[in-house]
Amino acid sequence: MGALVRLDKYLADMGAGTRSEVKEYIRKGRITVGGKVVKQPDLKLDISQAEVYFDSRCIEYEALEYYMLNKPAGVVSATTDKHCKTVVELIETGKNKDLFPVGRLDKDTEGLLLITNDGDLAHRLLSPKKHVPKTYYAHIKGKVDEEDVIVFHSGIKLEDDFTTLPARLVIKKAGEVSEVEVTIYEGKFHQVKRMFEAVGKEVLYLKRLSMGDLVLDENLILGGYRKLTEEELNRLKG
């Protein structure tokens, strides 16, 4: 037997409406459980077995959800914002109203972002003690050379007296605008941009490719998302 949840909470948790709205739907006979109309909002359901329909739409209960998002520029890494669209608003198929982004990407940064409502997993991935690697692809104004590789590997002291852990810098193309991949092990505010500023260069474009064992699906268009596979989730939780 699975966990028991009130019918009104079950529906509200799965995004069918607010608690007061779903109570009204229930009273109007729009909800069936096991093929029978139910009008008791406080009916306790076994979430592992319940067959719940709202009108003709099946409402399956998912306590935890995990989405990989290819974040586009111009969208903020937040749950709500008065002025800009948020990454959570891009997850149109999300059932839970308590989804949030795991960590932040700057508004103008693209790439991998995990959206979930699993607070325990988020805490493990973001904990400073875990040193979860994050890899970015970047366009850099200025020629990146081997000296920069050495400096990044040695750790860079930023202006707030914070010194980064050794970072891995790989030069893909050197020139007036260089193309690089950089892996860092913290998640400080604007960290990659600040690290390149510290060596006299400027980040023109930034895209996150991976976070821990989670790698951006190259088939996801900007703004696209999908649920994590069981294998991806197991690796993250491993």
Active site residues: 106
Give the CB-side neighbour count of residue 196, counting CA atoms within 13 A: 26
* Cα 66 from Cα 113, distance rounded (Å): 11
Residues 6+ positions from 112 with CB-CB distance below 8 Å: 68, 69, 70, 71, 208, 209, 210, 211, 214, 215, 216
Q: Is 35 left (phi over 0), alpha (psi -120 to 50) or beta?
A: left
Residues 6+ positions from 129 with CB-CB distance below 8 Å: none
